[in-house]
Structure 1
Amino acid sequence: MKARFSTALAFLLFVSTPIMADDIGQLPLSATFVMSGGYWESGPEGVPGAETSVAAGERGYYKLVAIRQADRTARIHLQMVASGEQGLRLVESVELEEFTALRPYVTGIRPESMSGVAGTPGFFATVYLKTTPDTDRVEEWTVLIDELGDIRVERASN
């Protein structure tokens, strides 16, 4: 499915402020997986795919966060984080509805590569999940953001 970043959602306070060593206790216990990766940069027209205003020439990275719910399923949020001279700033956060519809039990999230920042803008991650807690079968789903900011969430094809 294709989606685009829509209006910014009110999300957890911890993601909009840097966490210092003294503040690590403020990280919600419900954040079971957090993965950062890829990058984005704004041109004169702003950020591809985002509807929020971003300064020209600003850049940052993406973050994928799995938040455990009371029933042990997870909600997965995709965020754009600006990284500049003033520090980190949450640009936008959206819940990925494709995962919400599955009510997944997330067992892991991994980046495409552990070699560092890619040569082109975008993002790729694999989400490992179960659709029922008692199954041994783990499904792989990919989250891909292309250089234009288009988001695709789909079951991985091997």
Structure 2
Amino acid sequence: MPTQPAYLTIRPALKLAALLALLGQVWLQPALAQAAPGTEIETLSDRVMFVVSGGFWEGLPNEQDGGAAPADGAAPDSVPAAGAAQAEPAPATGAAADTEPAPEVLTMQKGYYRIAAVRAQDNHSLFYLQQVALGEDGPDVVMSMEIAELSDLKGYVTDIRPEDSSGSASQPGFAAYVHMKPDLETVEPETWSVLIDDLGDITVSRADN
């Protein structure tokens, strides 16, 4: 009986393996699409413990200068050689003389405040204040700063509550209460107030019970 060549046996096996691999890709693609994160909540840090927002602010955006003028006594970028003639700029003529750059129009920004508590590496609580602007493309964080008066206490946050939970602020500013334990053995947390006035100045103080 003639022996079947080895390559005739291997080739059907390779075709079957390729077909199974192709079917596996077809089955796995919907599963992978479902597992992919579809919302921003998937990118939220695991160390964020509390986030509250509210209040109201408005103002002009910070001007971004293209460069700063040299300070007094500082050397300019280029110095003409000694004895070199200094050419005076030629007066503008024609259309260039009539064309002036249009003044930059600064649009008033409006938004709200946000306070976040984050767990540090040593498990103490760190506190941050953000200004969030509301625009056509949605919320945009325009300022972030640490609230050092609270972070330096090295306490353990238990809650953060806004003073007004109506969601409709009529006056600029924001106020919130931070509840924090100085150590884990303490039963009742301390209460601290965070007050932001209409000028954006921040006051942190121990709240009276």
Query: Where does residue 204 of structure 2 map in the other structure?
Result: 153
| Corresponding residue SS for 1:102 | coil
Give the RMSD, CA atoms, in angstroms.
1.8
| Corresponding residue SS for 2:164 | coil
1:130 Cα deviation from its structure 2 partner: 0.5
TM (normalized to structure 2)? 0.59
Q: Deviations over 1:40-95 (max 9, x none)?
A: 011xxx37xxxx44953210000000001122211000000111112221111000
Matches within 5 A, 1:93-112: 93-112=144-163
| Corresponding residue SS for 1:41 | strand
List structure 1 runs of 4+ shifted beyond 6 angstroms. Answer: none
1:22 Cα deviation from its structure 2 partner: 2.6
Q: Deviations over 1:104-130 (max 9, x none)?
A: 100000011221222101000000000
Query: Where does residue 66 of structure 1 map in the other structure?
Result: 117
Distance across 2 between alignment mates of 1:63 and 1:35 = 6
The structure-2 alpha-carbon separation of the partners of 1:78 and 1:53, relative to structure 1 and needing over 3 Å to count, comes to farther
Please say if 1:139 is aligned against 2:190. yes
Matches within 5 A, 1:4-153: 21-42=38-59, 46=60, 52-53=62-63, 55-153=106-204
Distance across 1 between alignment mates of 2:188 and 2:165 = 25
For these two proteins, the number of residue pairs brought into alignment is 132
Distance across 2 between alignment mates of 1:79 and 1:41 = 14
Higher relative contact order (CA 8 A, sep 6+): 1
**Hey, which of these two has a bigger chunk of helix by percent?**
2
Query: Where does residue 68 of structure 2 map in the other structure?
Result: none
Aligned-pair identity (%)? 44
**Hey, which of these two has a bigger chunk of strand by percent?**
1
Mark the structure with the bigger radius of gyration: 2
Distance across 2 between alignment mates of 1:152 and 1:145 = 6
Which 5+ residue runs of structure 2 have no aligned equivalent?
1-36, 65-105
Distance across 2 between alignment mates of 1:23 and 1:58 = 24
